[in-house]
Structure 1
Amino acid sequence: MSKFGELINAQVPVLIDFYTDWNESSVLMHPVIKDVAAALGDKAKVIKIDVDKNQELAEALRIKGLPTLMIYKEGQMIWRQSGELDANTLIGIVQEQFNV
């Protein structure tokens, strides 16, 4: 959990994709997340977390639906949504939250 604290305390926005490899919606989001990371470059961190390998964290954050996407700014969650989104929508949300 302390490693998670280090991840979300970055100086740039942090977009996290909580997923599993057996959930179809999660798998469909993989290329979208890759596109978002490429588009944002060093203006944001994009992190994928497998809930099967991080069950304690998933329970602590009450991850129910997959994929669940979260945006953190300086350690604080400022946006959260479950379900699929397209790359342009996600990029727009990050840019809107951080004026990047």
Structure 2
Amino acid sequence: MNANFDTIINSDKPVLVDFFATWCGPCKTLAPILKQVKDTLGDQIAIVKIDVDKNPSIATLYNIRGVPTMILFQKGVQLWRQSGVLDKNDIINTIVHNSKI
């Protein structure tokens, strides 16, 4: 997964990575919000979900201590990071403000 993950986050378009766990209540709250973000921004952004229990090496690499944690990447550079649940508009505004879309 690591090599594939590196390829994904090195994309020219912004990539929002959602580090989550299946047992996490707030993660379940965030999932439909991220779908709304994707529906709004469409092909301007990629949204990738990483299960921290199935991908512990990636979670460790990015120092994920709590879930959900979202990290915004573009061309391999971390542009923004936030733990917890945000609403759709906050996430969209953050993506637009921090990336080149």
Question: Shared topology, TM-score over 0.5?
Answer: yes
Amino-acid identity (%): 37
* In structure 1, distance between residues paired with 2:75 and 2:88: 23
SS of equivalent residue, structure 1 residue 46: strand
Aligned to 1:46: 47
TM-score by length of 1: 0.95
Q: How large is the RMSD of aligned CA atoms in angstroms?
A: 0.9
Aligned to 1:56: 57
Structure 1 residues not aligned, in runs of 5+: none
**How many residues end up aligned between the 2 structures?**
100
Runs of 4+ with deviation above 6 angstroms? none
**1:35-81 CA deviation, whole Å, 9 max, x = no partner?**
11111101111111111110111111110111000000100101001
Aligned to 1:79: 80
* In structure 1, distance between residues paired with 2:58 and 2:99: 25
TM-score by length of 2: 0.94
Aligned to 1:32: 33
In the alignment, residue 95 of structure 1 is paired with which amino acid?
V
